[in-house]
């Protein structure tokens, strides 16, 4: 039997739980031309939600939906090329049709089309390189005329690695005139998303509807866990389920990770098996956690992290707490928190990665 729990990659179909309300809301908005900004803490399931929703949209046939991950591109040109290649791959039934239209659509610049097996690439001829992104975006609107295009830019905060505000200005200027493309921008770090979309000085200020993706309901996750173990001929105890759900707080990544490991360990999963699964997971993540820990340079920040790991939800830095833990002053805490937040280690006064929190609790003492 195959392990029915998957973590670390995008999940869809029968491996995907719930999110019906979110999917329907966002889908209707996108189909009617509303742009969306989707954000959440890490691992809440944005990319999976986008893929699952896009599968449904593409099956329904009212629009063509494509997800582009900005993390996988390094330059602005790569970004433009990926955009064109993905649209060709998903929106045309044959390369032949694609080639004919592209010749028509790309007016300002000359491009060369390269086909290798089932792969297609569009290369701008050398001197036109600069305008490629502009053309790629305009191509989207032309292509969307017959059937709406929905484009998701996943990890959109990565846009900042290109050339700063210039590209944002260019994109906004083109996108706001378009009528045939709906855009979904997704990103993890709320402050980055809000920096790009909620800062009056930035080109993308209030460009779309902000949607925050929250945790999945406990009963939906419980049902998912019970069913998947049952389907694969295994059993899980009530206390084991409760432990997993308490620890995960509705974040699907933790549920899937713990269940995956527990599934591998036994036929009957009780609390002991789940704890063993936790041990295995935390030690498998340990090398990465060591690196993060080494990057926290100041002794004070490390000490604060240990206290936060131990106290977790009870971390309330008031006068008494500061004195008890010898944390100098509120100003000191604040400064350290800002740094640790920027590093992505802390989110809303808690350690963002729950496994990292457990690792600190086990490995570090003050």
Ligand X SMILES: Nc1ncnc2c1ncn2[C@@H]1O[C@H](COP(=O)(O)OP(=O)(O)OP(=O)(O)O)[C@@H](O)[C@H]1O
Q: Looking at 10, 137, 225, 305, which residue binds ligand X (CB under 6 A)? A: 10
**Contact status: 325 vs ligand X (CB under 6 A):** no
| 228: contact with ligand X by CB under 6 A | no
168, 203 in Cβ contact below 8 A? yes
Pick from 4, 27, 35, 40 the residue near ligand X by CB under 6 A: 40
Taking the CA atoms of residue 76, residue 77, residue 80 and residue 84 in that order, the dihedral angle to the nearest 10 degrees is -160
The pair of structure tokens assigned to 76 is 């602005």
- Residue 48 within binding range of Mg ion, rule CB under 5 A: no
Q: What does the alpha-carbon distance between residue 89 and residue 92 come to, in Å, rounded to a whole number?
A: 6
**Shortest CA distance to 277 belongs to which of 298, 299, 303, 248?**
248
Decide if residue 45 touches ligand X (CB under 6 A).
yes
Q: Of the listed pieces 38-46, 81-89, 177-185, 250-258, which binds Mg ion according to CB under 5 A?
A: 38-46
Alpha helices in 92-199 (DSSP H): 95-105, 132-143, 165-175, 190-197
Among 11, 64, 137, 274, binds ligand X (CB under 6 A): 11
Which among 20-28, 40-48, 226-234, 353-361 is the span making contact with ligand X, rule CB under 6 A?
40-48
Tell the smallest beta-carbon distance from residue 48 to Mg ion (Å): 8
CA proximity to 264, closest of 303, 222, 232: 232
Near Mg ion by CB under 5 A: residue from 47, 157, 248, 301: 47
Q: Is 248 a residue that touches Mg ion (CB under 5 A)?
A: no
Of the listed pieces 45-53, 55-63, 191-199, 227-235, which binds Mg ion according to CB under 5 A? 45-53
Q: How far is CA 186 from CA 7, 194, 262, 287, in A?
A: 19, 11, 31, 29
Degrees, nearest 5: CA angle 113-118-123: 20
Tell me which residues in 242-261 interact with ligand X (CB under 6 A): 252-253, 256
Which residues make up the interface to ligand X (CB under 6 A)?
6-11, 16-17, 19, 40, 42-48, 188, 252-253, 256
């Amino acid at each position: 039997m195959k392990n029915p729990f998957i973590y670390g990659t995008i999940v869809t179909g029968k491996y995907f739980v719930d999110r019906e309300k979110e999917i329907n809301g966002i889908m209707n908005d996108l189909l009617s031309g509303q742009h969306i900004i989707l954000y959440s803490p890490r691992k809440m399931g944005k990319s999976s939600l986008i893929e699952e929703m896009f599968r449904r949209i593409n099956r329904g046939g009212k629009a063509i939906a494509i997800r582009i991950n900005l993390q996988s591109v390094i330059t602005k040109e790569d970004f433009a090329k990926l955009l064109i290649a993905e649209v060709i791959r998903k929106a045309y039934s044959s390369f032949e049709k694609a080639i004919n239209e592209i010749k028509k659509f790309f007016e300002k610049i000359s491009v060369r089309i390269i086909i290798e097996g089932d792969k297609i690439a569009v290369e701008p001829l050398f001197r036109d390189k600069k305008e490629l992104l502009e053309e790629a975006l305009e191509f989207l609107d032309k292509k969307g005329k017959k059937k709406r295009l929905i484009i998701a830019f996943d990890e959109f905060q990565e846009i900042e690695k290109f050339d700063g505000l210039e590209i944002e200005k260019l994109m906004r200027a083109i996108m706001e005139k378009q009528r045939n493309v709906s855009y979904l921008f997704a990103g993890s770090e709320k402050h980055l998303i809000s920096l790009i979309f909620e800062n009056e000085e930035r080109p993308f200020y209030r460009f779309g509807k902000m949607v925050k993706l929250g945790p999945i309901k406990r009963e939906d996750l419980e049902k998912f866990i019970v069913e998947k173990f049952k389907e694969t001929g295994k059993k899980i105890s009530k206390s084991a389920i409760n432990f997993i759900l308490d620890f995960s707080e509705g974040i699907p990544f933790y549920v899937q990770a713990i269940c995956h490991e527990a599934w591998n360990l036994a036929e009957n999963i009780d609390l002991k098996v789940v704890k063993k699964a936790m041990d295995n997971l935390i030690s498998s993540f340990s090398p990465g956690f060591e690196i993060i820990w080494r990057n926290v340079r100041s002794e004070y920040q490390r000490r604060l992290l240990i206290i936060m790991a131990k106290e977790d939800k009870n971390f309330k830095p008031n006068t008494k707490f500061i004195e008890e833990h010898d944390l100098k002053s509120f100003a000191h805490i604040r400064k350290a928190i800002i740094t640790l937040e920027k590093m992505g280690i802390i989110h809303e006064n808690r350690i963002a990665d729950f496994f990292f929190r457990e690792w600190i609790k086990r490995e570090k003492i003050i």
